[in-house]
């Protein structure tokens, strides 16, 4: 008699199933409702197709649409395949390459046939319609195992040169799979997939845009067309997402940066920001705020060089792990003649610093440090450069030159938990001052890393315990552990801020590092008179000033709190008879520390109101002949319908209170 398989379910029950049975068979045995609702399965933790036979006894969890993370991943993967099938159905001869799921949808890279131009936005409606046809046809998605040679032969015969190239590089001994859509279209894929195209909602996706993409990401290779879409489980989710995108577009910091005259970027300095006077006011306010915070917390501010010898980066480990993101320069005077190479190629190499950590270790190493000197908290508004690809640059959010609110705490082993806890409390206060809610994540050891497992165990436990002691390792703070996402030298805590429209931004971090002090030979003299290694805590709260300002602009939709607003008030006249009073009001407001401007132009007041509202000025103080005679102002506050009337003295007091940074109130 054939021995039955024991399939353990999440409720603790065990189902005995015949060999060759599948998760779909288990779902059917439990009941028709579950059989209809199930879309995939987790077998021993691995997400697999419902039709995948069990290989032995197993733990089984059936996946339905209620398991939203898994369901979205599956749906988006399937939308990508349906997209590729639709494009090839509409334009035979189209070559397909790859199409993964993304955070909010999917894309597929394709090459149009020689008979037509590359695909463009005008093609998207027809592709969408064809995708809906494929979905409504409810075509079964069936997995098959093929040999590498079968794949090569198939793609070569079909003229799929990109797929054939990729198939030829696959390991010969690995299980290679394809998925059929019905029996008339297939793609090479690891899976898993939904049982059929009909499990997708034909009204829950939308193709968004097209872009150029190089085969395998190399600009030396053929250029393809990348078709992007967004995909969801139902139309309601899609509509909510499109509304968020519409709101995000209104809040785009690049658009608002132009309208508010804050900054600009241009090709002559790829990835570096030109800050205008109004934009730099925001920067200076943040810098002053952070200085007060770190001074109160016992940090000592330093300034370190921009360029350091490559040997220093070799010793720190960054040269081997991070060199592709570094700007390197030869240590020589360039050739000034018209003929010959600009640099010889024989010089020693130096590099612009991509981070501040090694320089802070060098400061720590100056002079003998005692255990009594620890913890030593070193802070720097450190300007760094990273060689990001041009295509990855994005306004203030992804730049090449940036300034970090960077600090490193050198401490003893017995001080780590207390220092991390103090940092958690400092970060909590600062984020709340800006009106953010946040979640905390612990990023654990990556596969490629420096240091022993024992050191990693200790470092991870210290960070975990500090958050627990601070009372933040709770569901309310979104506490979560992220396997494999730590830095190569240390685990880290991450702060993920939630903005006004529900997006999350990873900003703050603290990392517990025993590797860099070892590599750069940092020591202190312990109570026993012997040398010991300090532990180095890497930490930041804003992350970078550029990105944090971008997040603030989008979070507040440009309507920054009064204390951060570049212009906090404008005094605008209705008639020229009030010009002298307006000038006096401006002088008194400036004397009170308010950033104020006057608008005495011969324009209608409604025009002035619209213009200054567009520039996101928090308060407009309107004055006419009557206000000049009475010593009053009419205040129009951004976002409010009704204006308020008060004396100039009352207006100055109100503005002074609002213009005071939250830590000084």
Catalogue the active-site residues. Answer: 357, 386, 404, 406, 408, 492, 538
What are the C-alpha distances in Å from 419 to residues 56, 82, 412, 464, 508?
50, 52, 10, 13, 15
Cα–Cα nearest to 356, from 315, 399, 311, 303: 303
- First vs last C-alpha separation in the chain: 81
3-class DSSP assignment, residue 250: helix
DSSP for 335-400?
A: P-SSSS-SS-S-SPEEEE-S-SHHHHHHHHTSSPPBGGG-SEEEEEEEEEE----GGG-BTTTB-S
Sign of CA dihedral 94, 98, 101, 106: negative
DSSP character at residue 576: G
Burial class (CB in 10 A: 0-12, 13-18, 19+), 107: buried
What is the number of alpha carbons within 13 Å of residue 48 lying toward its C-beta? 20
What are the C-alpha distances in Å from 556 to residues 9, 184, 248?
47, 51, 11
Residues, the chain: 665
List Cβ<8 Å contacts ≥24 apart for 519-523: 519/315, 519/316, 519/317, 519/450, 520/315, 520/316, 520/358, 520/361, 520/362, 520/365, 521/365, 522/361, 522/364, 522/365, 522/410, 523/369
Count H helices and E strands in the chain, helices first: 20, 32
Q: Which residue has the tokens 């002298």?
A: 580
Q: State how far the Cα of 502 lies from the Cα of 480, in Å rounded to an integer.
A: 18
Q: State how far the Cα of 16 lies from the Cα of 6, in Å rounded to an integer.
A: 5
3-class DSSP assignment, residue 547: helix
Write b or e for each residue in 134-158: b if 16 or more Cβ atoms lie within 10 A of its Cβ, otherwise e.
bbeeebbbbbeebebeebbebbeee
Q: State how far the Cα of 68 lies from the Cα of 64, in Å rounded to an integer.
A: 8
Q: State how far the Cα of 116 lies from the Cα of 366, in Å rounded to an integer.
A: 67
333 contacts 488 by C-beta, under 8 angstroms: no
The token pair that represents 602 in the structure block: 């011969």
What is the number of alpha carbons within 13 Å of residue 624 lying toward its C-beta? 7
DSSP character at residue 199: G
What are the C-alpha distances in Å from 528 to residues 227, 370, 534, 536, 653?
65, 11, 15, 21, 59
Q: What phi and psi values does residue 335 have, to the nearest 5 degrees?
A: -65, 130
> 619-623 and 105-111 as β-strands: parallel, antiparallel, unpaired?
unpaired
3-class DSSP assignment, residue 221: coil
Q: State how far the Cα of 632 lies from the Cα of 273, in Å rounded to an integer.
A: 41
What are the C-alpha distances in Å from 217 to residues 32, 117, 156, 321, 363?
46, 21, 22, 20, 41
């Amino acid at each position: 008699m054939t021995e039955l398989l024991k399939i353990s379910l999440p409720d603790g029950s065990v189902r005995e199933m015949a060999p060759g049975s599948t998760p779909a068979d288990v779902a059917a045995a439990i009941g028709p409702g579950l059989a209809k609702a199930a879309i995939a399965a987790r077998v021993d933790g691995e997400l697999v197709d419902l039709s995948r036979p069990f290989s032995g006894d197993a733990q089984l969890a059936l996946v339905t649409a209620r398991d939203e993370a898994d369901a979205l991943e599956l749906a988006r993967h399937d939308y990508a395949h349906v997209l590729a099938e639709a494009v090839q159905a509409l334009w035979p001869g189209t070559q397909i390459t790859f199409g993964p799921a993304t955070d909010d949808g999917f894309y597929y890279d394709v090459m149009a046939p020689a008979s037509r131009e590359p695909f463009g936005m005008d093609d998207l409606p027809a592709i969408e319609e064809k995708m809906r046809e494929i979905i409504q046809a409810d075509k079964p998605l069936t997995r098959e195992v093929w040999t590498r040679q079968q794949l090569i032969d198939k793609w070569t015969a079909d003229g799929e040169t990109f797929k054939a190239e990729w198939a030829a590089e696959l390991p010969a001994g690995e299980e290679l799979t394809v998925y059929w859509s019905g029996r008339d279209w297939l793609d090479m894929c690891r899976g898993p997939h939904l049982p059929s195209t009909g499990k997708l909602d034909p009204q829950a996706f939308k193709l968004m845009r097209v872009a150029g993409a190089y085969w395998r990401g190399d600009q030396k290779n053929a250029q393809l067309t990348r078709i992007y879409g967004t995909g969801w489980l139902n139309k309601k989710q899609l509509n909510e997402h499109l509304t968020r995108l519409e709101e995000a577009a209104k809040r785009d910091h690049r658009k608002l940066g132009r309208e508010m005259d804050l900054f600009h970027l241009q090709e002559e300095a790829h990835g570096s920001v030109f800050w205008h006077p109004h934009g730099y006011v925001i920067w200076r306010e943040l810098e002053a705020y952070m200085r007060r915070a770190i001074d109160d917390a016992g940090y000592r501010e330093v300034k370190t060089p921009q360029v350091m010898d490559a040997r220093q980066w070799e010793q720190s480990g960054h040269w081997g792990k991070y060199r592709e993101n570094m700007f390197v320069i030869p240590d020589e005077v360039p050739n000034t003649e018209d003929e010959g190479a600009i640099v010889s190629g024989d010089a020693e190499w130096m590099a612009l610093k991509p981070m501040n950590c090694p320089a802070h270790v060098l400061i720590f190493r100056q002079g003998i440090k005692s255990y009594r000197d620890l913890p030593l908290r070193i802070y720097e508004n450190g300007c760094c450069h990273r060689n990001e690809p041009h295509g990855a640059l994005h306004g203030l959010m992804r730049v090449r030159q940036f300034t970090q609110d960077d600090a490193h705490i050198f401490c003893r082993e017995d001080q780590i938990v207390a220092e991390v806890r103090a940092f958690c409390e400092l970060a909590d206060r600062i984020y709340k001052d800006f009106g953010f809610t946040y979640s905390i994540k612990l990023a654990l050891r990556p596969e490629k890393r420096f240091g022993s497992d024992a050191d990693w165990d200790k470092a991870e436990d210290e960070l975990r315990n500090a958050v627990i002691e601070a009372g933040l390792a709770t569901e309310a703070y979104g506490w979560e552990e992220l396997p494999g996402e730590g830095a190569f030298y240390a685990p880290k805590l991450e702060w993920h801020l939630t903005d006004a429209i529900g997006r999350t931004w990873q900003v703050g971090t603290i990392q517990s590092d025993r590797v860099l002090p070892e590599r750069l030979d940092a020591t202190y003299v312990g109570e026993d008179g012997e040398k010991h290694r300090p532990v180095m805590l890497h930490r930041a709260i804003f992350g970078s000033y550029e990105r944090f300002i971008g997040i603030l602009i989008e979070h507040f939709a440009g309507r920054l709190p009064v204390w951060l607003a570049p212009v906090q008030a404008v005094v605008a006249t209705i008639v020229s008879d009030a010009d002298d009073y307006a000038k006096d009001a401006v002088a008194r407001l400036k004397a009170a520390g308010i950033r104020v401007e006057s608008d005495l132009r011969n324009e209608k007041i409604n025009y002035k109101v619209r213009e200054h509202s567009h520039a996101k000025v928090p308060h407009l103080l309107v004055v006419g002949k009557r206000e000049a005679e009475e010593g009053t102002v009419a205040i129009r506050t951004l976002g409010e319908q009704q204006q308020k009337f008060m004396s100039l003295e009352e207006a100055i007091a109100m503005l002074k209170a609002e213009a005071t940074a939250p830590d000084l109130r």
